[in-house]
Structures are given as structure tokens and as C-alpha cells.
Amino acid sequence: MGKGNTLSTPNGWPGGGTVYASVNECKSCMRSQFCRGERTRVPLPPFDMRGLLPPFIGADAATHDRSPYVSTMSELGASLGTTPERRHLLRNLIAYRALIASDGYTSGFQFIDGSFVENIEALAGRPPGDIDVFSLLDAPTKYLTNSVSWQTHGLPFWQHEIANRNHNKARFSLDTYALLFQELQPMGLIQATIYWYSLFSHQRNTFAWKGFATIPLDPAGDQVALAALGTT
């Protein structure tokens, strides 16, 4: 991963130090491919006989056709929005993504996991109660160039709106986790991605290896998906 052009973070930026100016400064990393939607896309597969998304597709365990499956919100809705309860959660996810976009976050991706990406209706006789969401986001340029704006508005918005797990669980039924790309030096970014991939790729109770989805930020595409979901 080449370091590219760097800039000093605003005073008080979480993590401090020297960081990438944006995702576009790191063209070769997998994260940039996620954020720009350029990773080779494989359609979200159906549940396997275990009621889980398969961790990879086909018989070759080394294939690149594997989880996390890069999807759009419309594709997620078509594949997993199969009941009123699931569509309600998807509308909440879109509302959370709109909240993120409202403060200028337009580059990044989210891992989508939990019972929502399992056939929990067959496995446990119940609908999914929430969606697990891990967001890795590029900070808006307005905060990279203005430390006062970050301190007075950006940081409080991040802490109380984007990264507030209890608040987001109560209002959206989402279990949310979030990191800023600018918080992390290259090794920190790698370690964080490995951790969240490892956590989301195994069932919590059985430790079974499974697949999950990833969705780049796309406010316009989200609105198309929202219209397709309807109101029930």
C-alpha cells in the first residue's frame, strides 16, 4: 500500500498523526475498491443447507468469488427483503445511511451481518431482530481542512449520531460500529479490517464459517432501493 499524499489531521482528530488525504490516495488497497465499488462483483448467493450465506462460491476454496459479497442496497433488498420485518430493517438501514450522508460522508463501505444475513426464520423460528453494521468511512473534506469545524460539529456528530450504538439500536434496530479511515495508519487499517472480517465471518454461537455482504455508500442508489421496498 503506497503512502501517497498526506496531510496533518485536525487538532483533536481521533488517532492523530499523518493520514491519507482520502480514499483516492490509496488506489491499490482493497478498501478503496470497496469504497469506489470496483471490486469484482458476485451476486449475493442464496442460503446454503445450513441456512447461512456460503463463505465462498463453488468448489475452489481459494476462489475470489467469496465473502464479503459486494452488493447494492437494491440487491440486498431483492435477496433478503423477503418479509415485512426484513423490509422494515432495510428501510432503517437506508435511514442510517442517509444520516451519515447528511454530514457529507459519501465515500466508504459497510459490512452487513448478523441474523439478517441468515435464514433465521428457519433456524430459530423468528424474524431477525436487527442488522449488524460496521462502517469504515472517509471523513468529509470540510473536516480535513478545518479543525474548528471538526471539533464543534464533526466530532459531536460522529460520536452522538454515527457511532452511538445504543442510540442507533433504539431508533434504527441496528447494531452499529464505525471507524474513520483517517483514524488509522496503514497497519491499523489492515488490523481493523482483519478483525471485523474475522468477527463477521463466523456465527457467534456455533463459530460456523459463513458469508456476509458489504455495501459501498451510495445515497442515490439507496433512494432507488427505498422506493422498491415500499411501505410494508
pLDDT digits (tens, 9 = 90+) for 139-151: 999 999 999 999 9
Looking at residue 29, its pLDDT comes to 47
Cell of 58: 463453488
Residue with cell 471539533: 151
What is the H or E stretch that residue 8 is in?
strand 6-8
Given the C-alpha cell 481459494, which residue does it identify?
A: 62
Mean pLDDT of the chain: 85
Q: What is the pLDDT of residue 24?
A: 44
**H/E element, 109:** strand 108-113
All 3 cell numbers of residue 90?
A: 432495510
pLDDT at 201 over 50: yes
Distances (CA, A) of 54 to 39, 70, 72, 74, 148: 19, 14, 18, 20, 46
Which range has the worst mean pLDDT, 7-21, 41-55, 145-159?
A: 7-21
pLDDT attached to residue 30: 43
Strands 174-180 and 131-137 turn out to be parallel
What's the CA gap between 232 and 228, in Å, rounded? Answer: 11
Q: Is the pLDDT of residue 107 over 90?
A: yes
> Could you give the CA distance from residue 79 to residue 74 in angstroms, rounded to a whole number?
9
Model pTM?
0.83
